[in-house]
Structure 1
Amino acid sequence: MIDTQKRQERVILVGVELQETEHFDQSMAELASLARTAGAEVIGAYSQKRDRYDSKAFIGSGKLEEIKAIIEGEEIDTVVVNNRLTARQNTNLETALEVKVIDRMQLILDIFAMRARSYEGKLQVHLAQLKYMLPRLVGQGIMLSRQAGGIGSRGPGESQLELNRRSIRNQIRDIEQQLKRVEANRQTSRDKRIQSTAFKIGLVGYTNAGKSTIMNALTDNRQYEADELFATLDATTKQIYLDGKFEATLTDTVGFIQDLPTELVAAFKSTLEESRHLDLLIHVIDASDPNHEEQEKVVLGILEDLDMLDIPRLTLYNKMDQAQDFTATLFPYESVSAKSETARADLRDLLIRSIKERFVAFDIKINPSQLYKVYDLGKVALLNHEDLEESERLRGYIAPEHQWRLEAFYD
């Protein structure tokens, strides 16, 4: 009987810790998670302390010989380096080690290629990969002759790796033109959402913080969720109703990560533009991750780069059921366990409280004959429904920009 099951790619991780390197162990642990997300079997991780990276092969000659022996003894298929390699370093490492070598950036690009679902998402990943490849079309080693595929070679595929620079530039130009057409269509949809009276909420956070789980708890639609990095890639927007008829939209965005490849930052900036026009950002943080403070800084740094720090923001610590010795580092904050039985009610109550804090309270007298107008008002205001049965008073909370709508109830 022939075993048709595909063998997992066996990889080892390699990193260089410079004197000024911060959180090196955390970065290596994250690299292992990235490799497993890409479908690899991580056999081991090896590091070296140096004053600077070796310009020829990234690591020193002694460590290079050590890794070569490990590759032969453990039947390693791929070496994943926890830094961005130059084209020269990549070629020299592959020549010396005689196996495929990819860096952290190429690994992230590969996962994005695997996760992209929408037409635009696939175009953006393809564009990012081509831009990454262009300066690396050098030499005739393993880098330009990967026939086996596997991690680091998804997306455009092996044929593109053998194309010359002119061909790749033509592909880049063609994809950029396609993306402009897609962006024009998406801008039309975005303009409609901006003009809508619906309250716009966005979920942002480090990858694997639980944004999709929260999205699922708040909506009836199922968003893919898993305990892995970049489970969600394409931005998704759903409509929800809070406190009766109050209309809101909820957008789930791609997770952030340290050292996100510049090619992807540029490629996905248009996707993250969806979050620029929100009324409320929910910054979701994995409370169970001991490195959550550093992850918070990464997210806030990217939000600053996108000029989005002025959007009202709610800090939400998630996975409290898994957290041990938890200490909050951002204030004020709320906490939740998005997979608990009460998560849906808890999250909705939390959102309503947060919205009320940003709205203006009102208490007005109304004529009973005006009750039919309350239905439309409920789309933009959080109302105290218990007051509406046989009362001549209307209480609730409304956004400052919608206060003019209360004039319809004045005598």
Structure 2
Amino acid sequence: MVRSPAPFAAFEWTIAWRYLRARRAEGGVSVMTWISLIGITLAVFALIATLAVRSGFRTEFVGTILGANAHVTVYNAAEVDAQGRLSRTIADYEAMAERVAQVPGVIRVAPLVKGQVMASLQGSNAGVEVFGIAPVDLQGLPGIAEAEQAFGDLSRFPEGVAIGAGVARALGAGVGDRIKLISPDGVRTAFGTSPRVNAYEIVYVFSAGRYDIDRTRLYMPFAEAQSYFNREGVADELEVMVSDPEDVNPIALNILRAAGERAQVWTWRDASGGFLRALEVEDNVMFIILSILVLIATMNIVSGLIMLVKNKGRDIGILRTIGLSEGSVMRIFFICGAFTGVLGTMFGVILGCLFALYIDPIFSLVNYVMGGGVWDPSIRGIYALPAELRLTDVLSAVSLSLGLSFLVTLFPARRAARMNPVEALRYE
């Protein structure tokens, strides 16, 4: 009994490899095959590069949000004070902070005093948002205390103020300069409220990685902020940091229960949820569009393989006559087509990974060639184009490319297998 050879036997690979190495005059690899190879390479490269930039954007934005902002903000519901104005201040902020700190998953609680003032230095003015915070709590903000670019000594924070790099540029200020802070809601006198003007030494300049934070934020010692904004004995809100900010909603409910009846909470997802949802929708759309691009590139394999089958009609007839089965012929031409997809995918992965790893010098070159100004941080929010290479993204691109390449190869390979050997040899 004669046994059929196992699928993808050595002779099948040998014949397929001979067809791939054959010159065009011998009916070998056509121009369409080279076009499909280049197309798949570029499509996979574009897909991996886009996925890397997408992941980098999300990581960069979330990192800067969580590094310099509260994961959960606790504040009181508004009530009418003695002057008939709505107030959200927290009188028992120390007791509330102790209760919130005992919630499982909470790693830090910091009372804050916030206000907006005008900063002035030698005729230059800038609107800033003041955060009154205790020195030990400021040390716990990684985006500020561990900023990649920082000047000055944060240990001297009780003696002055810390400002963002954007504020420093707007004022032309540096460490050691004394800036004036002007608040319209200042000293209360018999004739009304007069503006309050205080001068503070700049002891620390930071860059949190976000243009909007660096351009507007100023940190002041908590006790000084209470005095400056007429908040003696109260705080505006509590800044809460949690161990797992990505899963902040369950912890936020426990924080709300511990804070008290008047308390309300606002998570970082509430503040940035719209942006994150828009980013997710954009990611899905871009993946679909680039998947179509990969499909178009793989369709060129069909054209090249059909031309190869047509040129090799005589060979197919001879192979069938000497005993090759339809399955063997199909696998031979499947190998020819799949080889193009595998090779194109491999080259695309290499180019895409190199792009993600060396995006900074590549972007610097593009910026230099274009004369600068390609990336505007005031619009983008961050200072450079980020990219983060993830194994899951690379595997997604590889799976998509190989899956489509193998799928489209089946049709011309099946056509070759079903070719009638008599018809193939009729005119030979």
Q: Same fold (TM over 0.5)?
A: no
Task: With the length of structure 1 as denominator, give the TM-score of the two structures.
Answer: 0.22
Which one has more relative contact order, counting CA pairs under 8 Å at least 6 apart? Answer: 2
Tell me which structure has the larger Cα radius of gyration: 2
Higher helix share: 2
